[in-house]
Amino acid sequence: MPNTQAYAAYNAKDHLKPYAFDRRAVGETDVQIDIEYCGVCHSDIHFAHNDWGMTEYPIVPGHEIIGRIKAVGDKVKNYKVGDLVGVGCMVDSCHTCSSCQKDLEQFCEQGMTMTYGSPDKIMGGVTQGGYSTQIVVDESFVLRVSEKLDTKAVAPLLCAGITTYSPLRNWNIGKGDKVGIIGLGGLGHMGVKFAAAMGAEVVMITTSPEKGADAKRLGAHEVLVSTNEEDMAKHANSFDFLLNTVPVAHDINPYMPLLKIDKTMVLVGATPVDLNSMNLIFGRKHIAGSLIGGIKETQEMLDFCAEHNIVSDVEMINMQDINTAFERVMKADVKYRFVIDMQSLKQA
């Protein structure tokens, strides 16, 4: 019998279904992790649906993985059996290029190995993600997780957390900055928590007025409904930074006048956008992108969360409920991250 049970997408259209496959044996520098929880990222949906044209089926999504170490290779230095650990969006990189040497493995010049959907250099085929009972990962891509935090609510930090923490740090956001977080979903709710913890004045920019009270509970000082032109005009030329997490193709022109001169909107939503260059030219404004964060920064983010008592707001599901969860995420109906309890898969 294969050593790993999972749920996989078999094609772009049908529901995810049970799947079994073999993970590699534990290598010298590998750890084997018994997966306890895995978050459901919108990227899992993009990938299952082949939105990016790169999916090879069957594919097991999941890159917000939390679990305990079950076995370690002979040369593992930093972990032991029983440790609580996480795995995010990457499981390998070349370790030698200039990006890797700068702790930016996500930009590895040879191409990082994504947790799922990358060529698997050891087993052949493609790597398979965390909607599964166990995973084997080189220790250099494993993160240490504090036992102080609510474990299941830590899982989303491995992607939603680092993807919002990294740009806020890179653009030096802090006290005195007015920051707009666009889209209150998995990434957005972490963006609000981090920006508030870093001391910024945080405005939640949403298409869902009914999420306003939650946004404030999460740390937003103000809520701006992006479809209300009058309110958008009141905030013109006032923002130091915008973090755009919208997961569908959209027009960013209405948001650009919110920025002050020389300020930046960072896109993390992996989707096409419409932009009229006039909205950059007038005000010398910037558009940038950001991709997760390196391993060192991901550990820094997890340590920041332990220090500031930050976790995700999660709704727990069983593995068998994944297709309903996907549908609800696509309708922006999630508060604010689904997390799979992998016990449900182990017992099935």
Give the footprint of ligand NAP on this chain (CB under 6 A).
41-43, 46, 159-160, 163, 183-188, 206-208, 211, 245-248, 250, 268-271, 290-292, 329, 332, 334
Q: Are 90 and 43 in contact (CB under 8 A)?
A: no
Closest CA to 206 of 240, 271, 239, 255: 255
Q: Looking at 153-161, 244-252, 297-305, 317-325, which segment touches Zn ion (CB under 5 A)?
A: 153-161
Count of residues binding Zn ion (CB under 5 A)?
Answer: 3
Q: Looking at 154-162, 208-216, 232-240, 246-254, which segment touches Zn ion (CB under 5 A)?
A: 154-162
Residue at 131: amino acid letter: Y
State the residue for tokens 């992006």: 226
Cross-strand bridge partners of residue 273: 250
Q: How far is the CB of 257 from ligand NAP (least distance, A)?
A: 17
183 binds, among Zn ion, ligand NAP, none (CB under 5 to 8 A by kind): ligand NAP
Pairing between β-strand 337-341 and β-strand 286-289 as defined by DSSP bridges: unpaired
Residue 100 or 159: which CB sits closer to Zn ion? 159
Rule CB under 5 A: is residue 41 a binding residue for Zn ion? yes
Q: Binding residue for Zn ion (CB under 5 A) from 159, 173, 195, 325?
A: 159
Residue 41 or 243: which CB sits closer to Zn ion? 41
Q: How far is the CB of 71 from ligand NAP (least distance, A)?
A: 29
Structure tokens at 297: 């920064």
Q: Which residues of 49-64 are buried (b: 16+ CB within 10 A; e: fewer)?
A: ebbeeebeebbbbbbb
Taking every pair of C-alpha atoms in the chain, what is the biggest distance, in angstroms? Answer: 63
Residue 31 or 268: which CB sits closer to ligand NAP? 268
Gap between the Cα atoms of 6 and 12, Å rounded: 17
Binding site for Zn ion (CB under 5 A): 41, 43, 159
